[in-house]
Amino acid sequence: MEKLLIIAVVLSLVTGMAVQAETLQIDGSTTVGPIADAFAEYFKKVYPDLDITVKKTGSGDGAAALVDGRCDIATMSRFMKDKEFKDAVANNVVPVAHVVAIDGVCVVVHPSNPVSALTRAQIRDIYAGKITNWSHVGGPSLPIVVISRDTSSGTYETFESLVMAKQAMGSGVEYVNANPQAHARVKTTQGAIGYVGIGFLDKDVKAVKVDQVAPSRQTIVTGVYPVARPLFLFTNGYPKLGSVVHKFCTFYLTEKGQELVEAKGFIPLTAY
Amino acid sequence: MDSESPTLTLGPTAERRPARGGLALTPGEDLLGFVGSYLGRALLFLITGTSVLAVLLILFFVVARSIPFFRDFGIGEFLTSQSWRPTADEPTFGALTLIVGSLYVSIAALLFAVPVGILAAVFLSDIVSWKIRDIVKPVVEILAAIPSVAYGFFAVLVLAPWMQSQFGFSTGTNALNASVILAVMALPTIISVAEDAISALGRELREASYSLGATRLETMVKVVIPAAHSGIIAAVVLGMMRAIGETMVVWMASGNATQIPHPWWDLSQSIRTMTATIAGEMGEAPEGMPHRSALFAVGVVLLLMTFVLNIVSEYFLSRARKATGKS
């Protein structure tokens, strides 16, 4: 009986060691989260022993987790801030950025709205509350319902930094807490203006040209469209070649990886 | 309640037998039982104590984290300024719009919910047959069990477009939308507390009224409702607490614009509440920055409001209990 027990314990230890060999902790942006999820799902199929967890707590939390060594890969929808970088280096962590995809933030209006092009200055004035009627930008006489993402979203951060140029949002701006909700509000509100990721463009909302450039895969990935940003994976140093982290961070280069990026509504980097 | 049939009730002295004595054994006779009963009491006291402790800890935590804000920015601007720009380069933290927003939707919700709730309570306690009452009451209580995010979905995807097309509002996520949903959410609380208060009055009061020649309507309006007013007020206050503390629905349905409606009765404008602000901004307010302590300061205001409402409702509930005890 005792012998059996000992054998059982030894066996479980041996197999346990074999199983717990590889884990991959991913933490960070809610925007990059879907890409990480899709990659992780594929990796789980290919490497059944691999234990991957993907958390979506926000870019700032992802950076903090990488600095504290709580994750192997931090997903971020913006580059690391100076302070985060300094904290990391002080903690003997050297953040290395891998761009996995490009996200375009598209300014959308109701399909019935005749306005089809706006300049960034006009959009800024609309969001600052200086322009309140569509007739001021060549549209019908209709009050503008301004819809923004909540201030803790990565999409808000991109829009705010690329369009608002330090201007404060007006007090009449409405806030919604997800891309689908922003889409739903614009779709159902005649005078609405909003912004969503390019994955959320469809026939129910109309994307306007920004500074004379229509959002498309090509204009976004080449940087011609002004409201676009790269999406990052951050690792501590460049991952060891052949390691799981390395495979994960270069997966976007494969055909399957690009397919997944596109399926999630983002633009693969090679779409020139 | 305990005196509904006075002839059968035992006097308070007969009921309140001292805990020791009577059936209990002395330690000499049953040491294990004696120790066990004390251990059991101690354990139950500890368990009860944790919930009290939790309240005190939450209170302490929220107040302590808000102190840096009040020290640096003072309380005057916080309560009077309408400019809430926490992420600007020169941040301003005027919470007046948020405080007004919370009160605004809660009071508007009560305007819808109180008349409906009281009428429904009267109907359930005095008019409808027991059979139907036993079906309707559980269904009303299911309203309280629906997750608030489901209400939120309804508000955004159904109510908002409907309000736009029906009333021509420029935006469908507005104070009216949030108030209507909050009213529906406050209804189960108001109905069940008010119904308890009304039915607890007992037959005597109603029969006395009928015997004086009052009609059913007169009995309801002039006797029963006035007699149950303490319980009804408590129901309304509890409903208000439900509305003011609700987060998900107002975050989704109210539009979250930091403004006070102008003119003030215009429910079709979008507003923002304290709860929605805390929920929406806590994620990206960095530790140690004024933004975060400002959100805790908003939390303190919210706690104070619910605290006062709680005391008021307790006061009226105990009055209602006393009143029905006497009758």
Residue B195 and residue B277 in one domain? yes
Query: Does B7 map to a domain?
Result: no
Q: How remote is the C-alpha of A64 from its chain's centroid?
A: 17
Residues 205-264 of chain A with CB under 8 A from chain B are none
Is B270 in CB contact (< 8 Å) with chain A?
yes
Residue B230 and residue B136 in one domain? yes
SS3 content of chain B, % helix, strand, coil (to 5): 70, 0, 25
Domain locations along chain A: 2-102+230-263, 103-221
Number of domains in chain B: 2
CA dist., res. B318 & res. A11, Å (int): 66
- Residue where a domain terminates, one of B73, B102, B136: B73
Is B170 in CB contact (< 8 Å) with chain A?
yes
Query: Does B240 map to a domain?
Result: yes
- Residue where a domain terminates, one of B16, B50, B73: B73
Residue B46 and residue B171 in one domain? no
Residue B155 and residue B216 in one domain? yes
Q: What is the DSSP letter of B270?
A: -
Residue B174 and residue B271 in one domain? yes
Q: Is the pLDDT of residue B24 over 70?
A: no
Topology of the domain covering A103-221: D-Maltodextrin-Binding Protein; domain 2 (3.40.190)
Q: How many residues are recorded in chain B?
A: 327
- Residue where a domain terminates, one of B18, B44, B73: B73
The DSSP H or E segment spanning A270 is none
Contact B141, B133 (CB under 8 A): no
Contacts of B272 in chain A (CB under 8 A): 175
Contacts of A145 in chain B (CB under 8 A): 170-171
Residue B149 and residue B228 in one domain? yes
CA trace torsion B227, B231, B232, B236 (10° rounding): 160
Q: If you average pLDDT over residues A164-182, what whole number do you get?
A: 87
pLDDT band at A5 (very low <50, low <70, confident <90, very high): low
Helix count and strand count (H, E) for chain B: 15, 2
Query: Is the CATH code 3.40.190.10 the one for domain A2-102+230-263?
Result: yes
The pLDDT value recorded for residue B321 is 82
Indicate whether this model's pTM tops 0.90.
no
Chain A: residue nearest B257 by CA?
A174
The pLDDT value recorded for residue A241 is 93
CB–CB of A60 and B170 under 8 A? Answer: no
Nearest-CA distance from B254 to chain A in Å? 9
Phi, psi of B182, deg, nearest 5: -60, -35
Residue B240 and residue B118 in one domain? yes
Return the residue matching tokens 């306690």.
B125
CA dist., res. A261 & res. A249, Å (int): 13
Convert the pLDDT of each residue in B46-70 to its tens digit.
999 999 999 999 999 999 999 999 9
Most confident of the following: A168-172, B15-19, B33-37, B178-182: B178-182
Contacts of A190 in chain B (CB under 8 A): 164, 170
With pLDDT > 70 as the criterion, what percentage of chain A qualifies? 92
Is A135 in CB contact (< 8 Å) with chain B?
no
What's the domain range around B55? 31-73
The pLDDT value recorded for residue A19 is 44
Contacts of B260 in chain A (CB under 8 A): none
CB–CB of B172 and A188 under 8 A? Answer: yes
* Inter-CA distances, B216 with A78, A105, A246, B120, B219, Å: 69, 64, 81, 16, 5
Q: If you average pLDDT over residues B266-272, what whole number do you get?
A: 91
Contacts of B251 in chain A (CB under 8 A): 177
Q: Give the dihedral sign, CA A266/A268/A271/A272.
A: positive
Q: Is the pLDDT of residue B308 over 60?
A: yes
Q: Is the pLDDT of residue B191 over 90?
A: yes
CA dist., res. A136 & res. A193, Å (int): 14
CB–CB of A174 and B282 under 8 A? Answer: no
φ/ψ bin of A44: left (φ > 0), alpha (ψ from -120 to 50), beta (otherwise)? alpha
Residue B91 and residue B67 in one domain? no
Residue B65 and residue B91 in one domain? no
Contacts of A176 in chain B (CB under 8 A): 173, 252, 256
Mean pLDDT across chain B, nearest whole number?
87
The pLDDT value recorded for residue B19 is 53
Asked if the peptide bond before residue B263 counts as cis, ω within 30 degrees of 0, the response is: yes
Residue B164 and residue B298 in one domain? yes
Nearest-CA distance from A74 to chain B in Å? 16
Phi, psi of A207, deg, nearest 5: -80, 130
Check if A2-102+230-263 and A103-221 are the same fold: yes
Type of residue found at A177? N
| CATH code of the domain containing B250 | 1.10.3720.10
Convert the pLDDT of each residue in B142-163 to its tens digit.
888 999 999 999 998 899 999 9
Residue B59 and residue B111 in one domain? no
pLDDT band at B11 (very low <50, low <70, confident <90, very high): very low
